[in-house]
């Protein structure tokens, strides 16, 4: 870095609580106020390209693998034989890319804003990496809550890759939505959710665990450290009626990991179990929801 401040300045994601993320910007590649949200794609100096929705960091080329690997492979390898997968949200295609690395029959993806898909395909193609062209991918441009309420499909794994609980994403954190997800989950299935940065949005994790617990036997959480979701560990909601899914031993997970021939850069079989070993402040948020 030459230390020179360029003409573009910084993308500052104001997170509230007196903390903000700053990413040095070289250019704005695209900006559009879609019908639903304000979408911006930046070229940064050192973190690749970045997409923000309504001023909130969504995906960053340099570290997106962490979030997408952890929200996909933990439920997929815990389940062990998922054939029907559902992604709610996920417009950048990263979750779809990771889910399709497993021997699934179909991944149904309900994303509310087609502009996000189109623009990420154009400006952030490395994220989806061709996943939208996979014949097993079934992309629906729809409100995920409405899809879950009306669909007759059932799933082995449901992944909620949503924005935060504001604007169009808010409904994806409701008990009614979770009830519909439960109704669409096959016996032994599992659901995971994007549940915010716990140090800043711990109350969201507590509420998610509480609401999931209204419908599932085992409502819990696991974590990952994502540099550009700043503020410490990111929380992921976990929900299933099969308590066994959270107890799998490392050898079982390792066998499934190598059978799937996954080449991951954050997830690994040791980390699978470790992700559920929660720091006390995270465990407190989870227990408050029980």
- Catalytic positions are 161
Residue 164 Cβ vs ligand SAM, minimum distance, rounded to whole Å: 6
In angstroms, the CA 63 to CA 100 distance is 19
Q: Which stretch binds ligand SAM (CB under 6 A): 14-22, 137-145, 242-250, 278-286?
A: 137-145
Give residue for tokens 């991951």.
264
Q: Which stretch binds ligand SAM (CB under 6 A): 76-84, 156-164, 210-218, 271-279?
A: 156-164
Q: Are 223 and 285 in contact (CB under 8 A)?
A: no
Q: Which stretch binds ligand SAM (CB under 6 A): 2-10, 111-119, 184-192, 264-272?
A: 111-119
Interface with ligand SAM (CB under 6 A), residue from 61, 63, 113, 156: 113
In angstroms, the CA 112 to CA 39 distance is 13
Interface with ligand SAM (CB under 6 A), residue from 44, 72, 108, 162: 162
| 172 touches ligand SAM by CB under 6 A | yes
Beta bridge partners of 31: 40
| 67 touches ligand SAM by CB under 6 A | yes
DSSP per-residue codes, 147-166: HHHH----EEEEEEE---SS
| 116 touches ligand SAM by CB under 6 A | yes
In angstroms, the CA 129 to CA 70 distance is 18
| 111 touches ligand SAM by CB under 6 A | yes
CA angle centred on 129, ends 125 and 135, rounded to 5°: 125
Please state at what angle helix 64-79 crosses helix 250-259, rounded to 10 degrees: 110
Interface with ligand SAM (CB under 6 A), residue from 29, 140, 171, 283: 171
| 87 touches ligand SAM by CB under 6 A | no
Q: Which helix (H) or strand (E) holds 257?
A: helix 250-259
| 163 touches ligand SAM by CB under 6 A | yes
Q: Which residues bind ligand SAM (CB under 6 A)?
A: 58-59, 67, 88-92, 110-113, 116, 143-145, 161-164, 168-169, 171-172, 194
């Amino acid at each position: 870095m030459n230390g020179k401040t360029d003409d573009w300045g910084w993308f500052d994601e104001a997170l509230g609580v007196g903390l903000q993320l700053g990413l040095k910007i070289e250019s704005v590649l695209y900006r559009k106020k879609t019908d639903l949200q304000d979408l911006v794609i930046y070229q940064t100096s050192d973190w690749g390209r970045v997409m923000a929705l309504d001023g909130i960091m969504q995906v960053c080329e340099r570290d997106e693998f962490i979030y997408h690997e952890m929200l996909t492979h933990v439920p997929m390898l815990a389940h062990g034989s998922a054939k029907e997968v559902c992604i709610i949200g996920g417009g950048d295609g990263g979750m779809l890319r990771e889910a399709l690395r497993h021997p699934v029959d179909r991944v149904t993806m309900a994303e509310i804003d087609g502009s996000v898909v189109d623009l990420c395909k154009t400006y952030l193609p490395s994220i989806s990496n061709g996943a939208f062209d996979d014949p097993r991918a079934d992309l629906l441009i729809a409100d995920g809550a409405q899809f879950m309420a009306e669909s007759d499909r059932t799933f082995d794994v449901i992944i909620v890759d949503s924005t935060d609980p504001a604007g169009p994403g808010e409904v994806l954190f409701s008990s009614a939505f979770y009830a519909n997800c439960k109704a669409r989950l096959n016996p032994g299935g599992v659901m995971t959710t994007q549940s915010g940065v716990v140090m800043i949005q711990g109350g969201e994790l507590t509420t998610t665990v509480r609401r999931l617990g209204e419908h599932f036997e085992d409502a819990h959480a696991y974590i990952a450290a994502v540099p550009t979701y700043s503020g410490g560990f990111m929380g992921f909601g976990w929900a299933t009626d099969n308590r066994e899914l959270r107890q799998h031993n490392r050898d079982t997970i390792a066998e499934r990991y190598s059978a799937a021939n996954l080449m991951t850069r954050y997830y690994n079989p040791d980390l699978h179990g470790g992700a559920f070993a929660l720091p006390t402040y995270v465990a407190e948020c989870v227990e408050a929801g029980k």
